[in-house]
Amino acid sequence: MRRLIKRICGIELLFVVLLIGAAAASAQIPLETFNQALSAIPLAAHDRILAAIETGTSQPEFPSDHLLALIQRLGPIAGPAKDKESILLMLTRAMERGLPIAGLLPASFELARALEEGLPIEGVVLEALKGIAQGSPISVIVAGITLRLVVLWDVRDLLFDRGIFRAAPGAAGSVATALPTEKFDQLVAQIADAISDYLEGDGRPYAGEAMYTLVADRLRNLPEAVVRPEDVDLVLDRIGPPDLTEIALNALS
Amino acid sequence: MRPDEIGGILRDILREEVASAVGRLDGLEEQIVLELGDRSPRLRFVDWVRGLTAPTRAGRVGQLAVLGATAALFLVVGVLITQNAPLAPALAPRLAARTNHEVLFVVPALDAESVAVVGDFNAWEAAPLTDENQDGIWTASIPLSPGRYEYAFVIDGRWWGQDPLADEYVRTFGQYSSVRYVGGGGDGV
């Protein structure tokens, strides 16, 4: 028994030593390392982001290593630089407001993964920025990001399933259902945003008809410069209320 | 001196003057004819064009060939200018900017110290409204490209998301935001 207690104490001691070591190591990440990692991304707000990190690293329990890992993960992603910057700006805004970003980092990695997969994440990040501006708790903002990302994935998969694709560069127009990348992404983002707004506004997931009407109104109100009427007709013709109910249930599950 | 003597003297003087000037009048007629024939450069250009398009031995086909060659020359020069001159890229942003709409944000806030608009067009960072004549009506004009925009006012630090001028409203994170459709069917602009 005594031997067992000793062994447990030894393991605990080792664990504590490792924790302290990890904390010390993370605290020792110099600002220049962050600066170099940020330099791999074309950023308009480089200085602002770095300043927020500098402030953050001076605080205890700041997740320096995870933040650095995120920046290093974002660097080589082929997605638009403005989307990478928007993820970092979301964290910057939270740091500037003195919010703990540890909770936001896993969601940020999820955003990076979505960006890597070519999803139009701009609306999701903007919604998180709205939550920060409203002073919402980090847990609520993270829940919003998670829900919106699930809906975004599902809406894109739904369009793929219905034979509506993003055309390869230079091949737009060769097939009626292969839309230019920008138009396809707008449709996915707007449909997903409408469904997510509905769900976050306490809408019932089983009310497929209501969601379909909401989506249709949203798409038809958008100016032609954003989505083309023929693309809107194509999408509304190929999706239906049961599809939206399925997406809503999946997002809430 | 008698008048007839004076007349005689004057006639003699005039005769001498004319005799001395005769040499200078030589060739005057030819000079006038030449100057009348030397028309202005513009008229000469018109004459040149007329000459090009005038009936030739080759007839109408020849005229068309001359006109076609001229048009092709202008086309080639035009294409070269468009491709090489820095004017085209410089114009592009200005043309794009023309598609922007000046969207007016108005909010009555009689006793407010500060009013700002936040929205997805400015990544939810405050853009101040002004009340220059101190009548309690705060305004800001923001250029926006066509699209759907969510926004709210922040009046003395408090969120105010139900603008009567909005096209619709959304409620997320437990608070309302206003929506305007710019450049489309809504009343956003």
Q: List, for residues A150-169, the tens digit of each pLDDT value.
A: 999 999 999 999 999 888 76
Question: Residues A12-21: what's their mean pLDDT?
Answer: 51
Asked if A200 has any chain B CB less than 8 Å from its own CB, the reply is yes
Instruction: State residue B82's pLDDT score.
Output: 34
Evaluate whether residue A6 is within a structural domain: no
**pLDDT confidence of A178, banded at 50, 70, 90?**
confident
Instruction: State residue A168's pLDDT score.
Output: 73
Evaluate whether residue A10 is within a structural domain: no
Q: What residues contact B97, with CB distance under 8 A and at least 6 apart?
A: B143
Whether residue B164 contacts residue B153, with contact meaning beta carbons closer than 8 Å, is answered with: no
Q: How far apart are the first and last CA of chain B?
A: 100
Whether residue A56 contacts residue A101, with contact meaning beta carbons closer than 8 Å, is answered with: yes
Higher pLDDT, B14 or B57: B14
Question: Residues B18-38: what's their mean pLDDT?
Answer: 52
Question: Residues B87-114: what's their mean pLDDT?
Answer: 66
Q: Considering only CA atoms, which of A43, A55, A52, A50 is closest in space to residue A86?
A: A43
Last residue of a domain, one of A100, A133, A163: A100
Q: Do B124 and A86 touch (CB under 8 A)?
A: no
CA distance B153 to chain A (A): 11
Last residue of a domain, one of B56, B83, B110: B83
Q: Do B183 and A223 touch (CB under 8 A)?
A: yes
| Whole-number Å distance between alpha carbons of A196 and A250 | 12
Q: How many CB pairs under 8 A join A and B?
A: 71
Instruction: State residue A177's pLDDT score.
Output: 84
Higher pLDDT, B113 or A23: B113
**pLDDT confidence of B75, banded at 50, 70, 90?**
very low
Q: Considering only CA atoms, which of A180, A186, A188, A198 is closest in space to residue A161?
A: A188
Mean pLDDT across chain B, nearest whole number?
69
Q: What residues contact A169, with CB distance under 8 A and at least 6 apart?
A: A181
Whether residue B118 contacts residue A93, with contact meaning beta carbons closer than 8 Å, is answered with: no
State whether B28 and B53 are in the same domain. yes
Q: Considering only CA atoms, which of B100, B103, B97, B98 is closest in space to residue B167?
A: B103
Can you read off the two tokens belonging to residue A241?
């209320």
Higher pLDDT, B49 or A208: A208
Q: Does the pLDDT value for residue A17 go beyond 80?
A: no
Question: Residues B39-52: what's their mean pLDDT?
Answer: 47
Region at B136 (left for phi over 0; alpha for psi -120 to 50; beta for the rest): left
Mean pLDDT across chain A, nearest whole number?
89
State whether B111 and B163 are in the same domain. yes
Instruction: State residue A36's pLDDT score.
Output: 95
State whether A32 and A134 are in the same domain. no
Read out DSSP for chain B?
Answer: --HHHHHHHHHHHHHHHHHHHHHHHTTHHHHHHHHHHS--HHHHHHHHHHHHHS--TTTHHHHHHHHHHHHHHHHHHHHHHHHH-THHHHHHHHHHHHT-EEEEEEEE-TT-S-EEEEEGGGTT--EE-B-TT-SSEEEEEEEE-SEEEEEEEEETTEEE---TT-SEEEEETTEEEEEEEESSSSS--
State whether A124 and A94 are in the same domain. no
**Share above pLDDT 90 across residues of chain B, in percent, rounded to a whole number:** 41
Tell me which residue range forms the domain holding A226.
119-253
Tell me which residue range forms the domain holding B39.
3-83
CB contacts, 8 Å: A144 with chain B: 172-173
State whether B78 and B144 are in the same domain. no
Q: Does the pLDDT value for residue B168 go beyond 60?
A: yes
Evaluate whether residue A2 is within a structural domain: no
CATH of the domain at B126: 2.60.40.10
CA distance B159 to chain A (A): 7
State whether B117 and B174 are in the same domain. yes
**pLDDT confidence of B12, banded at 50, 70, 90?**
confident
Scanning A126-165 for CB atoms below 8 A from B yields 126-127, 129-134, 136, 140-141, 144
Higher pLDDT, A27 or A220: A220
Instruction: State residue A167's pLDDT score.
Output: 82
State whether A159 and A195 are in the same domain. yes
Residues β-bridged to residue B154: B116, B159
State whether B33 and B76 are in the same domain. yes
Instruction: State residue A137's pLDDT score.
Output: 94
Read out DSSP for chain A?
Answer: -HHHHHHHHHHHHHHHHHHHHHHHHHHT--HHHHHHHHHTS--TTHHHHHHHHHHHHTSTT--HHHHHHHHHHHTT--S-HHHHHHHHHHHHHHHHTT--GGGHHHHHHHHHHHHHTT---HHHHHHHHHHHHHT--HHHHHHHHHHHHHHHHHHHHHHHHTT-EEPPTT-TTSSTTEE-HHHHHHHHHHHHHHHHHHHHTT--TT-HHHHHHHHHHHHHHS-TTTS-HHHHHHHHHH--HHHHHHHHHHHH-
Residue of A nearest to B181 (CA): A222
Q: Which residues of B touch A (CB under 8 A)?
A: 99, 118, 120, 123-125, 145-148, 150, 159, 167, 170-175, 177, 181-186
Can you read off the two tokens belonging to residue A184?
């396809």
Question: Residues B66-88: what's their mean pLDDT?
Answer: 41
Q: What is the dihedral of CA A7, A8, A13, A15, to 10 degrees?
A: 120
Q: Does the pLDDT value for residue B109 go beyond 90?
A: yes
Instruction: State residue A176's pLDDT score.
Output: 72
Evaluate whether residue B122 is within a structural domain: yes
Q: Total domain count for chain A?
A: 2
Q: Do A134 and B159 touch (CB under 8 A)?
A: yes
Mind listing the pLDDT tens digit for each residue in A185-224?
999 999 999 999 999 998 899 999 999 999 999 999 999 9
**Share above pLDDT 70 across residues of chain A, in percent, rounded to a whole number:** 86
Instruction: State residue B94's pLDDT score.
Output: 32
Mind listing the pLDDT tens digit for each residue in B130-156?
999 999 999 999 999 999 999 999 999
Residues β-bridged to residue B172: B175
Whether residue A156 contacts residue A124, with contact meaning beta carbons closer than 8 Å, is answered with: no
Q: What are phi and psi of A251, to 5 degrees?
A: -70, -30
Q: Total domain count for chain B?
A: 2
Instruction: State residue A35's pLDDT score.
Output: 95
- Rounded CA Rg of chain B: 40
Mind listing the pLDDT tens digit for each residue in A60-112?
889 999 999 999 999 999 989 999 999 999 999 999 999 999 999 999 999 99
**pLDDT confidence of B23, banded at 50, 70, 90?**
low
Mutation target vs A (from B124, B158, B171, B179; most A CBs, 10 A cutoff):
B124
Evaluate whether residue B187 is within a structural domain: no
State whether A249 and A210 are in the same domain. yes
State whether A92 and A127 are in the same domain. no
State whether A78 and A170 are in the same domain. no
Task: State the helix-helix crossing angle for A2-27 and A64-74, rounded to 10 degrees.
Answer: 60
Instruction: State residue B22's pLDDT score.
Output: 54
| Whole-number Å distance between alpha carbons of A124 and A110 | 11
Mutation target vs B (from A93, A211, A222; most B CBs, 10 A cutoff):
A222
Evaluate whether residue A191 is within a structural domain: yes
